[in-house]
Amino acid sequence: MAPSPQESVVEQPQQTIPRGLTGEECVITGMSGLFPMSDSVLEFKENLYNGVDMVTNENIRWDIDHPEIPKHFGMITGVDRFDAQFFKVHYKQALIMDPMSRKLLEHAYTAIFDAGVNPLELRGKKIGVFIGAAFSESEKLVIYESIQRNGFGITGCNKAMYANRISYWLDSTGPSYALDVACSSSMACLEHAYKSISSGLCEAAIVGGCNLCMHPNVALNMRKYGFLCLDGKTKCFDKHGDGSVRADAISILFLQKAKDAKRIYSEVYHAKSSYCKNMQGQFLPMRQPQEVQEFLEDFYKETDVSPRDVEYIEANASGK
């Protein structure tokens, strides 16, 4: 059975260019995803608006009692389900294919459909695919901890295939690769997609991020390093912060130029990254105030936007 489209695509959007746009702008036209206790973006939104705690202490993936492995996770369901025939994946490959790759395929399809586009229309077109991922915990299970004899584990759990498999299924051209910039991997992908569309390298793009907590040793090592809290409560920007909570997520955006869009969720106005050495610690987000100020000044100059016009800022924090 093919993945079901989201509720928002029951009525197909019509192609129009909103006032104030020339048609060359990069815009978000489709989205899809899986999140803890949320089987769609719409359900995730409702859970956030209603203040639902989506962290659970009922671990359904492993049964290991270790005092340093946190009991709390944000977990999605259905990671074992995949319509291999629909995506033309051989059943031997599907058996040991990374669950993240499966879910990325499903939700790439749903995000494209959410934009009012038939994926068959993208064949042969310059469609970029940019996927952010830091860990493949299934790779550890399939390649290093078991003996599988058909060789499909190499392609099934290779992070490069997260993007390449989507491009192959779409039969599209354009840049296609995975990025690992740790916590900012998905944002780096959005920047690459924005610049690729703006420069004409591709005419549309799939941008995604993924994480699945599949191996207890990853959580154990993160806890030993001081990344994770034990009470299941991430306390960002708080003096009591003692770490964050691990969670699953599959998130996909479909980007097009405004002239090609049938629906516009948002315009991607600009994208810029800063890569600086942090002398206070390899994984600490703090930097010298002067470096932050210079980066923001350059950013606002490039966008021709005043900081006074910014009404909302979303921040990523480690919980410490």
In this structure, what token pair is assigned to residue 264?
């516009």
Q: What is the pLDDT of residue 10?
A: 43
129 burial (CB, 10 Å; 0-12 / 13-18 / 19+) is buried
| Domains of the chain with CATH codes | 23-269 (3.40.47.10)
Q: What is the pLDDT of residue 227?
A: 87
Q: What is the pLDDT of residue 195?
A: 96
Q: What is the pLDDT of residue 116?
A: 96
The end-to-end CA distance of the chain, in Å, is 43
How is the beta sheet containing 204-211 ordered, strand by strand?
176-179, 127-132, 204-211, 249-257, 26-34, 266-267
Chunked into runs of 10 residues, the chain (320 residues) has average pLDDT values of 47 66 93 96 96 89 84 91 90 86 96 96 96 84 63 75 94 94 90 96 97 89 87 86 91 97 94 69 59 88 90 78
User: How many C-alpha atoms does 168 have within 13 Å on its Cβ side?
Assistant: 13
Whether the pTM exceeds 0.75: the reply is yes
| Distance in angstroms (rounded) separating the CA atoms of residues 171 and 57 | 42
Tens digit of each residue's pLDDT (9 = 90 or more) over 172-183? 999 999 999 888
Q: What is the pLDDT of residue 12?
A: 59
CA 258 to chain centre: 22
Tens digit of each residue's pLDDT (9 = 90 or more) over 104-143? 999 999 999 999 999 999 999 999 999 999 888 777 766 6
